[in-house]
Amino acid sequence: MKLHGFLTTLLAIIATTVTVAAGYKLSSRPVLRPMPYNSRMPFPNPPARDSKVCVVNTHGDGVTDDSFSILFALWDCNDGGHVLFPRGETYTIGTALDLTFLKHIDIDIQGRIQFTNDTTYWQANSFSFIFQNVTSFFKLGGEDVWIYGDQNGAAVCRARTTPNDARYFGDKKERLMTLLSDGTIDGNGQVWYDTYAANIYTLRPVLVGIDGLRDSVLSNLVLRHSPQYYHFVANASNVVFNNIDIAGGSTSKNKASNSDGWDTYRSRDVTIMNSVINNGDDCVSFKPNSSHILVQSLSCTGSHGISVGSLGQYPGTFDIVESLMISNITMRDASDGARIKVWPNTPSAMSADLQGGGGSGRVSNITYEDMRVKNVDYAIEITQCYGQKNLSLCQQFPSELVIEDIVFKRFSGTTASKYEPLIAAFACSSDKVCGNITATDIKVKSPKGKRQAYCLNQVTRNLDVECTSNYKGFN
């Protein structure tokens, strides 16, 4: 009887997934418009894949696991097909999915994908990335993968997103946005925010976990309520993120912690562009061994800035972050605009679940340009004392990770009052491991019109600010 039931279910799935999509309209593949720069490598541009279409079946009740239907459609249309999640449908994922087999496939998300709130299952079964206890609901990899929502649907949602929307989730306005949002992936994060508040060692999955993806594009997607990071991009090359709408706040007293927009790790030639991010942690963060990354034309609200690091966390490791271009960024209501954070060469603790220090490596050839800030604590912050509030101890044990060839140019706007009159901090643990830092055409002012910066172990002084030793603290 059980076998008969299984075969009946399987045949029902086949009947709906292995058909040319009669009556369905496929989304057009997004047009990628890089501004102001082109990436180092040409964007992926494969031929159309619409000769075979797999329409994914769903139970549609918002509770029953649709993972098998999704996996079946992806397998069936892999290597040359087009998978469609139709408009108006909701898909629920309650099983960890290894999607590293994908190749030469379009995944067209017109409906809504959500994850179950079974925190016990996900902590036991989500995929581990080793680094900083990162886990994910699913692991996305392979080559020549295009994942996108409907161009018009994403645009409707973005037009209705304001800088304050992340603070109003759960009300009628948010539900209206949800109904209008095609191409939505929802992490059902509230249960995770509350669980993490009760136990900081809870393993919270990232919403989009990438491992080994190459020559691929993710575009026109609406991402909501991630339990932790929205993207963790590991071991990837030539991947483009375009027109992504990120937001998600808590409806309880427990905030949505560590909600980075993107974290890159052991990846190169990644482009992140034309996106809106409302979150509570780094808008973009470059973790160890990230290189040739282009980040441009973003609007970030409520974040910790666009950050290199943290780096040098683990003794015996050699971290490299180099050749980054960050351009045309608007940063509002944030702790930082441009940020580089490195652990010192002594055990330090940012929090009970985030500790480190003693690693080595280098940060080099980094450019931040054309950044507009409003109500940001520090427009620019460099620290080699991350996690260590004792500056004397930090200088006694200077970082073994070198920071060099860093450029900040054409910054404008007004900082918050938190560190008045400081607008920036350049804190090196030693001038021997931190140098050739330039900041030009910096027109940022504090609320009272001052343009001072805290400077520690700065030798070259190629800084378009007034340096002071007046320490105001770090984030």
Active site residues: 304
Q: How far apart are the first and last CA of the chain?
A: 61
CB within 8 Å of 217: residues ≥ 6 apart? 30, 32, 43, 44, 145, 146, 147, 148, 239, 240, 242
Strand (E) or helix (H) holding 152: helix 151-159
CB within 8 Å of 42: residues ≥ 6 apart? none
Whole-angstrom distance, CA of residue 324 vs CA of residue 206: 24
Whole-angstrom distance, CA of residue 188 vs CA of residue 207: 10
Of 453, 468, 458, nearest to 433 by C-alpha is 458
Of 42, 30, 34, nearest to 269 by C-alpha is 42
CB within 8 Å of 88: residues ≥ 6 apart? 110, 111
* DSSP code of residue 65: -
Whole-angstrom distance, CA of residue 55 vs CA of residue 58: 10
Q: Which amino acid is at 38?
A: N
Ordered DSSP codes for 349-383: EEETTEEE---EEEEEEEEEEEEEEEEEEEEEEEE
Give the strand pairing for 306-311 and 53-55. Answer: unpaired
Of 446, 449, 451, nearest to 466 by C-alpha is 451
Its sign, for the CA torsion 406, 412, 416, 421, is positive
* Three-class SS state of 81: coil
